[in-house]
Amino acid sequence: MTTEKSAPAESAPTPRSGGAAAIQPRKRGWVVFLRDVVVIILIAVVVSFLVKTFLVRSFYIPSGSMEDTLLINDRILVDEITPRFGGYERGDIVVFQDPGGWLPPNPAPPRPPIVEAGEWVLSLVGLAAPDSDDHLVKRIIGLPGDHVVCCNAAGQITVNDVPVDESDYIEVPSTDAAASGDPFDVVVPDGSLWVLGDNRYRSKDSRYNTDQPGKGFVPLDNVVGRAFLVTWPLDRFGMLDFHHDVFGSVPSPEPQDASR
């Protein structure tokens, strides 16, 4: 009796030398993944840098000159692009570079290089505001050509001979206190603004800088933009009120007399 021999079972393929080749696709996958992550991060940084440079910037509030509209250590966003196309209005809250002599010298203490580098990186994407101490934030009261006077018999500021009721947002010592403790009578020159703090008796604003080279006026070229949002702390998150209605009846300024 003959029996058929069963075919020998196929042996498993012998692994080739250099087994690392078998896991090469996985390594290549991680390389591609890491490359994509780096590209995404770089794109995000570039976009954030462009947004910060041309659209929106972040600042923190170092003083109480705008209380109770803005409090110390509030963090705000500033719109840089809208005012460039639409201009500014009376009542706008603006951030601007020191025109010269408004801020006292404030030499920064030396810090470790790693801290400086970290803040620089965060500033690129708008998460840090290292130059806040070199800027000021105030409310626009007078536009170019406006005749701004303080105060009338009711203690109100007048703009182009029209009194404005600022009681909804200014902080004064008492209900019968004038809108400014110091009188002034100015005509805002072309290309400049007259600005005051909402904490009217504790703000070193245009009124207190008339002895500086700019005579208390803020050049439009110094204005970074218009603050529009409080982002921190979270319990104060919200849009800022410009109170444009307060100035709604103020007429456009008359042409200035060149001989004045």
- DSSP characters over 122-134: HHHTTS--TTGGG
| Closest of 218, 213, 160 to residue 185, by C-alpha | 160
Give me the pLDDT at residue 122, please.
54
Give me the pLDDT at residue 152, please.
96
Give me the pLDDT at residue 239, please.
96
Give me the pLDDT at residue 1, please.
45
Give me the pLDDT at residue 14, please.
52
Q: How far apart are CA 108 and CA 134, in angstroms?
A: 11
Give me the pLDDT at residue 41, please.
64
| pTM of the predicted structure, to 2 decimals | 0.75
Q: How far apart are CA 224 and CA 215, in angstroms?
A: 20
**What is the residue whose two structure tokens read 């803020």?**
218
Q: What are the structural domains of the chain? A: 58-105+132-247 (2.10.109.10)
DSSP assignments along 227-257, one per residue? EEEEEESGGG-EEPP--GGGGTTPPPPPPPP
Mean pLDDT of 89-98: 96
How many angstroms separate the first and last alpha carbons of the chain? 134
Q: How many CB atoms lie within 10 A of CB 237?
A: 11
Give me the pLDDT at residue 260, please.
46
Mean pLDDT of 167-194: 96
Q: How far apart are CA 139 and CA 176, in angstroms?
A: 22
Just list the catalytic residues. 65, 138
